[in-house]
Structure 1
Amino acid sequence: MLSEHSIVYIEIERQIDFYFQQKQIELQYELHLSMEGIKSARHQFELQHVHDVSHKSFSFGGGILYLHTNQGVFSYKIQEDPNPFIQTFKSLKVRSL
């Protein structure tokens, strides 16, 4: 099994243009998982501070990936299958114990 893995997540940014029209921009980032921890565009968690990773699938595709940490639960909107990411997390978590 890989010692590193990543998954793409989406954030929606709302902007007001010159004509005061609201626009929604979809931004894609990667959630990186390694022996050191999990790193997103805005947060970084040491592996021992991440208690669990879970997901909720939507019937129309995609879903939400949840990181359960000592700082709370963080959610990430995803479009791809999260199972390889979750299985890698569990494998790394067992190795770090």
Structure 2
Amino acid sequence: MTLLAVHPYVKIQRDVSSFKQIQREDMREIRLYTDRIETKYHTFAIQDVLDISYHAIGHKSGLLYLHTIRGIYSYHVYQTPQTFIDSFKAHRKNL
């Protein structure tokens, strides 16, 4: 189906040993299509996504929340996802 919007998110992995903590960041994308939303490991049918919201954490990052029929999924973002959210809401309005 047609790609409507893309937004970057980051998967933060922390490895802790007895001497130090290592933090790794894996840059990924969340993609909005006409029939689904996809992340690296999840695919949500568009009718299963009830809402999308965003909560800023400080000035540099925030959490993008997908509210689905299977629960809430959070994604760490460094840029405001307002365009992605607006695209989703406009598309849902037309369904």
Alignment of 1:1-97 (within 5 A): 4-15=4-15, 21-96=20-95
Please give the alpha-carbon distance, in whole angstroms, between the structure 1 residues aligned to 2:15 and 2:80: 30
Alignment-mate amino acid for residue 31 of structure 2: H
SS state of the match for residue 93, structure 1? Answer: helix
Structure with the bigger percentage of strand = 2
**Any unmatched runs of 5+ in structure 1?**
none
SS state of the match for residue 28, structure 1? Answer: strand
**Any unmatched runs of 5+ in structure 2?**
none
Alignment-mate amino acid for residue 12 of structure 1: I
Q: TM-score, normalised by structure 2?
A: 0.87
Query: Pairwise CA RMSD of aligned residues?
Result: 2.0
Q: TM-score, normalised by structure 1?
A: 0.85
Please give the alpha-carbon distance, in whole angstroms, between the structure 1 residues aligned to 2:70 and 2:43: 11
Please give the alpha-carbon distance, in whole angstroms, between the structure 2 residues aligned to 1:16 and 1:62: 23
